[in-house]
Amino acid sequence: MPPRPGLSKGELEIARVVWELKQATVRAVYNALADVRDIDFTTVQTYLRRLEEKGYLNVRMEGRVRSYSPKVRPRTVIRETVSDLVDRLFAGDSMPLVRHLVEDSRFTEGEIEQLRQLIDRLEGDSDE
Amino acid sequence: MPPRPGLSKGELEIARVVWELKQATVRAVYNALADVRDIDFTTVQTYLRRLEEKGYLNVRMEGRVRSYSPKVRPRTVIRETVSDLVDRLFAGDSMPLVRHLVEDSRFTEGEIEQLRQLIDRLEGDSDE
DNA sequence: GAATCATAAGTACATCTGTACTTGAGTCAA
DNA sequence: TTGACTCAAGTACAGATGTACTTATGATTC
């Protein structure tokens, strides 16, 4: 269904950083990531190039530096990715995943309250 | 942290079928899958072999047929897989994933009720 | 303006993935 | 006992992935 090739785990990680920064040069993504894990500047370059080739990012030259920005909305990528995972890991039923997350995540009081509200809002929407 | 190599998307799918069947020959997994998607018997064989090599499945000869069963508990694989996804897609925060799932999944009344109970149970456990 | 630095762009490459073909040995049915 | 069938086991192979080196070029600093 998605007219784009899917993203690998590593590519997803890089895409997320671009989403967070809204707009980012290779250097910016590299800096954001290098904090967290050991990776080479040119590896980031390669990932960004591939993300653009696959149609997930736009590029624009800023002077002689390339600046990347989202082309496909994060929501869309997230939906596709999660849906694929649910298919493979739970035969398409997302309930077990929610259950797993809720049971395993050690949410704070505040987060639990958020969840409760989220669910309350659901009921209003659906049939009613 | 996991002392095993991670699983690819395709491998996960095959692993899930084995979990569901608890114990399964190549033929059994093949049958379960062939219903759903077009795949060759020997492709299933290859996946199962790799899953065993990676330490996720046990094999046992039943006569001259191999029978596979889980070696790592599904819960564990699910935890590792989901945790990896959350890291890459949401920088480690699982709340957005729960939100996404709840908002996107079109749960039934019954499921929503289940969710509510799940959350109620949480509060009891956590601090208190 | 020569040396240094930053970046782009191309190339490299081992491993992993998805998918399957081939070969050979055991099993069954006629 | 020969063909049809099943399965294990080995091999194949293109494409994806993770990671980085190299080369060239524009920019910056003495």
The residues near A126 (Cβ < 8 Å, ≥ 6 apart) are B106, B109, B112
- B98 min Cα distance to partner chain A (Å): 6
pLDDT tens-place string over residues B78-119: 999 999 999 999 999 999 999 999 999 989 999 999 999 999
Mean pLDDT of B18-40: 94
Find chain A residues with C-beta within 8 A of B111's C-beta. 95
- A76 min Cα distance to partner chain B (Å): 11
pLDDT at A44: 97
> Poorest-confidence range of A16-20, A56-60, B26-30, B33-37?
B33-37
pLDDT at B122: 82
CA-based nearest residue to A43, from A71, A69, A14? A14
The parts of chain A modelled with pLDDT lower than 50 are: 1, 126-128
Which token pair is B107?
């749960």
Among protein residues, the one whose C-alpha sits closest to the C1' atom of C16 is B8
Q: Are B119 and A116 in contact (CB under 8 A)?
A: yes
pLDDT tens-place string over residues B55-64: 999 999 988 8
Tell me which residues of chain A have a C-beta less than 8 Å from any C-beta of chain B: 9-10, 12-13, 16, 20, 78-79, 81-82, 84-85, 87-91, 94-95, 97-107, 109, 111-112, 114-116, 118-119, 122-123, 126-127
A49 CA – C7 C1', rounded, Å: 14
pLDDT at A124: 61
Q: What element of type H or E holds A114? A: helix A109-125
The DSSP symbol for A91 reads T
Q: Are B24 and B17 in contact (CB under 8 A)?
A: yes
d(CA B91, CA B85): 9
pLDDT at B128: 43
